[in-house]
């Protein structure tokens, strides 16, 4: 798996930080993975509802790339795909939690925003 993944990346070096950034270093990929982890989003339209306002062409591009890299998989037909994180994608959970913790610590209002998003998510589940 690791050799196959390395072949797919545009490697600048073998530094583990650099390699991970090649995998998910753009803004949108991490936000899609965040939505899958914490908001339980799994469909194209659910991702479009995210407050960051991802455009349809960028969303499609990132979903294809994340699938090709083995971070997510999908089931269903072309118009009704349901995405889910693979084991490799789930391995990013502690990374995203730490990025969120950094944001809550250093950016005023982000903690309250995160709490509001969580409450809204939980309300939708009921």
H helical segments located in 25-76: 27-38, 44-48, 56-68
| Burial grade of 35 (CB within 10 A; 0-12, 13-18, 19 or more) | buried
The alpha carbon of 70 is separated from its chain's Cα centroid by a whole number of angstroms, namely 12
Whole-structure pTM value: 0.84
Q: Which residue has the higher pLDDT, 14 or 10?
A: 14
Which pLDDT score is estimated for 68? 92
| pLDDT, position 46 | 95
Q: At what angle do helices 93-106 and 110-125 cross, to 10 degrees?
A: 130
Give strand pairing partners of 73: 84
The residue-averaged pLDDT of 101-117 equals 83
* Tokens of residue 75, six digits: 């089931």
For residue 71, pLDDT over 90 is answered with yes
For the stretch 23-53, pLDDT in tens is: 888 989 999 999 999 999 999 999 999 989 9
Share of the chain above pLDDT 70, in %: 97
Q: What is the C-alpha to C-alpha distance for residues 41 and 32, in angstroms, rounded to an integer? A: 9
Domains for the chain: give ranges and CATH numbers.
Answer: 16-125 (1.10.10.10)
Q: What separation in angstroms does the CA of 98 have from each of 93, 101, 102, 105, 110? A: 9, 5, 6, 10, 14
pLDDT value for 27: 87
Q: Would you call 84 helix, strand, or coil by DSSP?
A: strand
Question: pLDDT category, 97, cuts 50, 70, 90?
Answer: very high
Say yes or no to pLDDT of 1 above 70.
Answer: no
């Amino acid at each position: 798996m690791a050799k196959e993944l390395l072949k797919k990346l545009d490697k600048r070096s073998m530094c583990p930080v650099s390699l991970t950034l090649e995998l998910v270093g753009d803004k949108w990929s991490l936000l899609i993975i965040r939505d899958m982890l914490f908001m339980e989003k799994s469909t194209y339209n659910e991702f479009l509802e995210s407050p960051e306002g991802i455009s349809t062409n960028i969303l499609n591009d990132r979903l294809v790339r994340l699938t090709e890299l083995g971070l997510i998989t999908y089931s269903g037909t072309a118009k009704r795909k349901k995405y889910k994180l693979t084991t490799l994608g789930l391995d990013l959970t502690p990374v995203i939690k730490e990025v969120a913790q950094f944001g809550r610590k250093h950016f005023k209002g982000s903690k309250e925003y995160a709490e509001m998003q969580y409450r809204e998510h939980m309300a939708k589940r009921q």
